[in-house]
Structure 1
């Protein structure tokens, strides 16, 4: 999964093709819980570009997108929001895949 480097890159990825942003942080135990199976999720849904957004580094992007709990996911296609899975709850691989399939 690529890691977001700048706010400009966020806008570029958001507005180009199909993207899923994972809002996360290194210190978050529920974020660490999903790490082992995320490569499998990415492999399964290759039509999406997956990007890790560090909540602490990009707190402004989180606030602009109403992301106050992590881990959270927001999906976009060509600038339009397709859906969001935003909460502070621990997420299972099944729940994440169900979210992506519903987009």
Structure 2
């Protein structure tokens, strides 16, 4: 009887293309250190516009190659929210190599969100 041994590979810059990741203050830095553009959605459970934006931004990231989504609950991640000076939510940032490449605040229409994500996507 042979045993199956899963193999794991580690790299400093992973590709998470199209994935959705919920961050904590402890995991945020690791999640944004990927090769493609990271779309960061600052939100809160009690925020109605955040709930309206969530499926729109998930769909935009999923359908755009060269992007991944990191969701940050501002109540659960106060250090990360403070670092990015989040005063209103939803707030969405496009990060490239850890630097802010663009952002918007509020629940934008679907076409505007898709355009934002596509315009910041990492090109192969």
TM bucket (normalised to shorter chain) is 0.7 to 0.9
TM-score after normalising by structure 2: 0.70
Give the structure-1-normalised TM-score. Answer: 0.82
Partner residue, 2:83: 64
> Which runs of structure 2 are paired with 1:1-103 in the superposition (5 Å)?
1-4=20-23, 6-17=24-35, 18-85=37-104, 87=105, 89-103=106-120
Quick check: 1:19–1:50 contact (8 Å CA) kept in 2?
yes
After superposing on structure 2, the runs of 4+ consecutive aligned residues of structure 1 that deviate more than 4 Å are: none
Q: How many matched pairs?
A: 100
CA contact (8 A) 2:60 2:117 kept: no
Q: Which runs of 5+ in 1 are unaligned?
A: none
SS at match of 2:27: helix
Q: Distance in 1 between matches of 2:78 and 2:72?
A: 9
CA RMSD of aligned residues (A): 1.7
